[in-house]
Amino acid sequence: MATERPSKDEAASPVKPEQKSSEHIEMVPVAGSDAGQDDVKLARGSWYHYKKDVIVSVIIMFSAFEYGLDIGMVSGFQAMAGFLEVFGYEDPTQPGGYGLKTIVQTLMTSLMVMGGFLGAFAAGAIMDFLGRRSGLWVGSGLTLLGAILQMTVTSYAGLYVCRIILGLGNGVLLVSGQVFMQEVANPQLRTASFGTNQFWMAFGQLIGAIINNATKTHAGRSAYQTPMGILCVMPVLMSVALIFIPETPRYLQMRGKHEAARRSLRWHRDRFVSDAEVEAEYSEIAHPVESERDAAGKSNALEIFHPRNLKRTLTSMGLVLFPAATGVSFMGTYGVYFFEVSGSSDPFVDGVIVLACNLAGAICTIAVGRRMRKRISLLVAAAVQALCMLGMGVSYVVHGLSPFSGRVILSMACIFCYISTFISIPFSWQIGSEIPNPRFRAPTYGIGTGVAFVVGWAQAYSLPYFINTTALNWGGKVGFLFLAGNVVVVGFVFLCVPETKGRTLEEINECYVLRVPVRKWDSYEAQGAKNARREGFERGLKDQGK
């Protein structure tokens, strides 16, 4: 039910208990429950009602913009004369008159990925000991340092060190941003929050490619120094904004800071949300934390591999591997170079076109993603992506290095990237960070992301040997490799990934604790979480004097 906005006089005057409205809360009978045992269901308001969630999401997802910007720029550096004059070698037979040694190409990308692996692993410990915000601050500092250094170095050793530092920063930022948003976002807006994440990443890649296209003809080092300077902007803006955003309520609750957790939750919910509703949500958050702490006593991060947590841990890790398994990471890292060796007449323009498709997909996620069923969407997306990769491979085998083959590969890449940013990446990352045990969300997602970086590192190091003209020179035939990856993803989703649409994090936790089969999640009623929510709501009404 829509709610009326208060008048200026009402907003300025103290709110009396009887004035606080709970009209946007519905009391819905729970199937199979006794009379009077209702569930507290919150009506879905408009975007205006969740404007604070939207603003916080935009700020926190600056971390994704930074990562996308770096990927988009480095992909273009490998075909930029100004960069190749410093780190490449003269070769009249190569486009532009310069070439890049395979070992430099592989190390420049793979060392950044290796740094991301270390950063993702460290992010879990940083966030558990210092807080979610501290993880974002540490990541911002490392990214800023790496970008500044890369503008100044001219040696291979210096370039490699800078790539590792940037990888460390991006690894910490990616994990910290995802965990922060999972723990503060309203359940109705979690998908939109992850859509915002993918939008910023795609937008970052697009901006990086556009800047590269604008500076590729600059003489000397300024051709790549200008793009690297842009990398310094977002970490500074995000670090300043974080000063005014409180720590996540779930982290504070796990640290035993109950009142601080209540205040944080109240801050993160807009004014239209009543105190009774905030108390209902807080009660649901606190219940599993307190009950698990009582049952397990002291715990450590190794418990993510305990049999009671192993299934959800491995599922989470599998989900964050989707970008590497399906070919998304390959397109982001080597897209421009791949188009160049596959018959494209203007690989930079093609790169911008594909990144525009990425951006369109991310916008669609924000607009309609929360209405979509995640499990079936992932199945369909992986199947479409498999067909796109098959089309790339077949076209190159039949037509070879030709303009026609280049156009077909570009078309398949556009469809592939649109589907991946619309469905595959945001939905897999969302579910991957929703399903870990609440006590170990940061280390589970951090280790999972670290494993994804390891797989990405292996790809970044080995794939140039498949596509480089001085090695195997497969060109579009590399699509066959990722055809197999997408087929594996279809099977994994069908067997292991549950439907989480409309579930709170605490309801998801209850389904795993009670070992609800994946295919029965749709019909299961999470009684424990609903009871805690109802009790909190009633307590909140009592505190308001109703």
Give residue-wise pLDDT tens across range 456-479: 778 777 777 777 666 677 777 888
Spatial distance between the Cα atoms of 422 and 410, rounded to a whole number of angstroms: 18
Give the three-class secondary structure for 90. strand
Give residue-wise pLDDT tens across range 114-171: 888 899 888 888 998 898 999 999 999 999 998 888 888 888 888 889 889 999 998 9
- Which amino acid is it at 6? P
C-alpha separations of 51 from 48, 99, 460 in Å? 5, 49, 39
Range scoring the smallest mean pLDDT among 95-99, 267-271, 370-374, 459-463: 95-99
Report H helices in 190-306.
190-215, 222-230, 233-242, 249-254, 258-268, 275-296
Length of the chain equals 546
Tokens 């486009």 belong to 95
pLDDT for residue 255: 86
Query: If we measure between CA atoms, which residue out of 449, 389, 381 comes closest to residue 421?
Result: 381
Tell me which of 533 and 393 has the higher pLDDT. Answer: 393
- Which amino acid is it at 72? G
Instruction: Give the tokens for residue 19.
Output: 């004035």
pLDDT for residue 6: 42
pLDDT grade for 376, boundaries at 50, 70 and 90: very high
Is it the case that residue 183 has pLDDT exceeding 60?
yes
Give residue-wise pLDDT tens across range 483-509: 998 999 999 999 999 998 878 888 888
Spatial distance between the Cα atoms of 542 and 546, rounded to a whole number of angstroms: 5
Tokens 């009391």 belong to 27
- Which amino acid is it at 10? E
Give residue-wise pLDDT tens across range 104-118: 877 887 788 788 889
Domain parsing of the chain, residue ranges: 49-249+299-496
The most confident of 265-269, 286-290, 306-310, 384-388, by mean pLDDT: 384-388
Q: What is the CATH number of domain 49-249+299-496?
A: 1.20.1250.20
DSSP state letters, 389-456: HHHHHHHHHHH-SSHHHHHHHHHHHHHHHHHIIIIIHHHHHHHHHHSS-GGGHHHHHHHHHHHHHHHH
Q: H or E element: which one contains 318?
A: helix 307-320
Q: Tally DSSP H helices, then E strands, for the chain.
A: 24, 4
Is residue 422 within 8 A of residue 293, CB to CB? The reply is no
Is it the case that residue 331 has pLDDT exceeding 90?
no
Spatial distance between the Cα atoms of 360 and 284, rounded to a whole number of angstroms: 36
Mean pLDDT of 3-22: 40
Range scoring the smallest mean pLDDT among 138-147, 333-342, 391-400, 409-418: 333-342
pLDDT for residue 18: 37
Spatial distance between the Cα atoms of 216 and 177, rounded to a whole number of angstroms: 32
pLDDT for residue 49: 66
Spatial distance between the Cα atoms of 79 and 216, rounded to a whole number of angstroms: 9
Q: Model pTM? A: 0.74
Is residue 56 within 8 A of residue 221, CB to CB? The reply is no
CA neighbours closer than 13 Å in the CB half-sphere of residue 172: 28
pLDDT grade for 12, boundaries at 50, 70 and 90: very low
pLDDT for residue 378: 94
C-alpha separations of 417 from 96, 330, 351 in Å? 28, 11, 11
Give the β-pairing of 38-42 and 89-90.
Answer: unpaired
Instruction: Give the tokens for residue 533.
Output: 């929510």
